[in-house]
Amino acid sequence: MNNLSKSALSKWFQNLQHEICHGLEAVDGGGKFIEDKWQRPGGGGGRTRSFAKGNVIEKGGVNFSEVYGNTPQKILDALSLEQADFYATGVSIVLHPENPMVPIIHMNIRYFEMTPSKSKTKHWWFGGGIDLTPHYIDPADAGFFHKQLKDVCDRHHHSYYHKFKRWADDYFFLKHRDETRGIGGIFFDRLSSDDAFTKAERWKFVQDVGLIFMPTYRDLIARNKDKPYGEREKQWQFYRRGRYVEFNLVWDKGTKFGLDTGGRTESILMSLPPQANWSYNFHPGEGTPEHQTLQKLKKDINWIDAGNT
């Protein structure tokens, strides 16, 4: 794509949202997305597409947004910038499955631009990532997932996967629990042009990350959707969903940015599960599948090699 205007980027994100929603409906075979278009006071808006009570997906959403306007002071302070206007567009996805054996998946890819009031120079960058949060960690699934991401990264630069995997390990980490949210994935931010990469090259990478979402999650669903489970597994799923809620409300920068910029609360909190539990000081029995999963919620695991053992 040679046209890298804001409208062209926004249009591509809108098309990706449509393609992913269509693909998920086909995989689920039961539920349908409901679209809710909204406007942001101050500039822009988006369309939230929510999904509930499907055959595979219990709750989820695939959101598109294109927002702009005056940058709130707390954002300027965080970025050490003077007064500026901002523009942001992208797609955000979170899916909570019905079957505890199917993992939660999250993806966000976005473009951000800031124009300081006292300058005509625009600051722009891409950000995003994709990560997986299994309720029960299967090393084979984890290895498959990370191999898909490494293949995408390697098509663009040999340093991408290891750099962005480490970034994801550090980002999707519950410091107050000393555990990762799941098995990570890749995470990147502030990707702009430099001596090594043009804007077009950065954009192509972001596009490829977006395009890998549907085939990867389709395979993970197929691997796990028919596995049996009972009340014990559902209670563990609710417990692990509680950790997901903790991360999104305490640590997630995207949630904070959306709320700080006057974003639509219902769309921002779409990522929360339909049901989650918190059990006081709960510790699963040693050697149980639940305990084994907890032992794997660590940084710096080579999941590709672990999945091949």
The whole domain housing 259 covers 6-306
The number of folded domains in the chain is 1
Is 106 marked active-site?
A: yes
pLDDT band at 121 (very low <50, low <70, confident <90, very high): confident
- Please report whether residue 102 resides in a domain: yes
- Please report whether residue 251 resides in a domain: yes
Nearest by Cα to 261 from 43, 6, 62 = 43
23 burial type by CB count under 10 A (0-12 exposed, 13-18 middle, 19+ buried) = middle
What CA–CA distance (Å, rounded) separates 27 from 151?
A: 24
What CA–CA distance (Å, rounded) separates 93 from 61?
A: 6
* pLDDT of amino acid 1: 41
Active-site annotation holder among 96, 106, 135, 146: 106
pLDDT single digits (tens) 33-89: 999 999 988 899 999 999 999 999 999 999 999 999 888 777 777 767 778 889 999
What CA–CA distance (Å, rounded) separates 202 from 50?
A: 29
- Please report whether residue 131 resides in a domain: yes
Average pLDDT, the chain: 93
Say whether pLDDT at 261 is over 80.
no
Say whether pLDDT at 2 is over 70.
no
What tokens does 8 get?
A: 């062209």
Q: What is the CATH number of the domain that holds 134?
A: 3.40.1500.10
The continuous run of DSSP H or E covering 203 comes out as helix 199-224
Q: Which residue has the higher pLDDT, 244 or 255?
A: 244
Which residue in the block uniquely carries the two structure tokens 């955000």? 92
What CA–CA distance (Å, rounded) separates 53 from 55?
A: 7
Q: Which residue has the higher pLDDT, 270 or 160?
A: 160
- Please report whether residue 1 resides in a domain: no
pLDDT single digits (tens) 247-256: 999 999 888 8
- Please report whether residue 144 resides in a domain: yes
